[in-house]
Structure 1
């Protein structure tokens, strides 16, 4: 194994581990369960890449062109287990984003994917077709999750959720395109480039990897690190006041979703917006031309609907759901 491929593989594993640790840290701060799915996503890629490194470093992978063209299925059951967790993590993240996560919606695609992959392993072991089906059905499952998210966005999402999801339109399209390129690269590698392998050549090392998949993971890693860093900068024990343009923008984007999720009335939403600015009941009453008693009633209703008992807890709840 060349030094370049070794360093590349180690760096990729480190990038996955770093992204997974950032996601786990963000989960502990925010308790947003989407970060658990993200963590699992990167851990699976870390383990799959580690298996590739193990095979090449310990010479478990055939070292000749003829051996590679036999398409030996190394560690099939370990790869099946990792693939199942991968599919579950993708559906977990997508369903969390569109706020429709249930165990049934995760179990069904995992079961279908597992059935097809198990059939490929049992019926056509160590064959080109088996490996193409094994990885192809996984890509199809990812596409299906994106298609389900798109359908939900168009049919079921309310205005607040629609505005929230619209912010991720560019990453969504980029990821969908990259998944298509992953499937195309697998097909080209197995049915076109594999016969061109010479012993220990560049294509030899590429045969166990998918560079489009690696690019997709790196793009996701950048997005996750940015998101997790933004979450970690929010101090939940001392939630931020809207004293900067960036914080004001985040509060404005989150306000409609939070109000919709907790069924706040328009007036309660106005009161919440002023609470986020750090105003007390007297200043809120002056700003909205209400009596202090009316403001207190609105604040009490907001507490009840958000299931909190103080302004501190309300601010923590608001930023935690961002």
Structure 2
């Protein structure tokens, strides 16, 4: 049984490490902040899992048990890792929503969470099942809060273009929200409700290993990894097919903090758009009108309209709104 959980934990740590490495490669190519945040978040999660590994090795070696009524092993380390992981989740969420958070916004999101974690961390002289539960519940509710904020932003603040962009990730957001509530339910059961039968050592051992992990949280990690791989695939495809366009894509991605530049290149490939038409399309997707596009590209409004007409013809649409729809649904 211990070997099976060893393999399982190794796989989860491997997923986190590989995802972190890929995100770091994307950051090195594009200097996108969200890629660096993702790389840090997955690496921190892997370190958090490695602490569990280390503790289990010690317990098997020295034959001692730990229950939820006792202090948390390495309380300060686990607390710091939890805060750092949550901060990465917050920063990535803002990046995915195309928002540049202010210091005040970050402070409101991270500081209260950090204080609660430091106060509630089960340590010597302050431990118990309820404190363990509240400590982990704080982390769980932090994830739910991020997803709830994303849903609120989508409904009330997102522009039409942002909604079209986020629509591509609707399945991810829904699955992530369901799994976030599953994490809470699993922690509730394992900490407050589960009472292993001491007369059945096999079941007790299984539940002991299970209590060290949160399967729902691990599944959520894998879902996030898949989502990131899908997101980064656009950038990697651009670098594979357009090795000389990397500097432009990197510069645009670094400024915008998203994968719009790489998506424009892929869309241009599929519809045979020229370099100037790509520039016009990018500005259209950012909400600029013909006059602003003309000023940005230092050309006449009539030339912009001519470029737009050719883009419409090549894309098989008849107006700007249809073009935007076609782009984000491609």
Matching residue of 1:264: 288
1:177 deviation in Å?
0.9
Distance 2:278 2:168 in 1: 10
TM-score, with length taken from structure 1: 0.74
Matching residue of 1:226: 230
SS at match of 1:238: helix
Residues 69, 122 of structure 1: CA spacing in aligned structure 2 closer, same or farther, 3 A cutoff? Answer: closer
1:82 deviation in Å?
0.6
Distance 1:108 1:223 in 2: 27
Distance 1:35 1:229 in 2: 12
Residues 194, 229 of structure 1: CA spacing in aligned structure 2 closer, same or farther, 3 A cutoff? Answer: farther
Matching residue of 1:120: 120
1:229 deviation in Å?
2.7
Uncovered stretches (5+) of structure 2, i.e. residues with no partner: 246-264, 309-330
Equivalent runs, 1:86-125 vs 2, <5 Å: 86-100=85-99, 101-121=101-121, 125=126
1:14 lines up with 2:14 in the alignment:
yes
Please, what is the CA RMSD of the aligned residues? 3.5
Stretch deviating more after TM superposition (90-99 or 27-36): 27-36
Residues 63, 78 of structure 1: CA spacing in aligned structure 2 closer, same or farther, 3 A cutoff? Answer: same
Distance 2:226 2:174 in 1: 16
Matching residue of 1:288: 306
Matching residue of 1:154: 155
TM-score, with length taken from structure 2: 0.72
Q: Does the 8 Å contact 2:280/2:304 carry over to 1?
A: no
Distance 1:59 1:217 in 2: 26
SS at match of 1:12: helix
SS at match of 2:236: helix
Matching residue of 2:188: 187
Residues 245, 260 of structure 1: CA spacing in aligned structure 2 closer, same or farther, 3 A cutoff? Answer: closer
| CA shift digits 1:177-206 (9 cap, x unpaired) | 101100110000012224346556111101
Q: Does the 8 Å contact 1:71/1:127 carry over to 2?
A: yes
1:121 deviation in Å?
2.7
Distance 1:258 1:286 in 2: 11
Residues 36, 109 of structure 1: CA spacing in aligned structure 2 closer, same or farther, 3 A cutoff? Answer: same
Distance 1:254 1:179 in 2: 40
1:16 deviation in Å?
0.4
| CA shift digits 1:107-140 (9 cap, x unpaired) | 2222111211222137873311111111111111
Aligned residues: 276
Of residues 209, 214, 233, the one that matches 2:213 is: 209
1:103 deviation in Å?
3.0
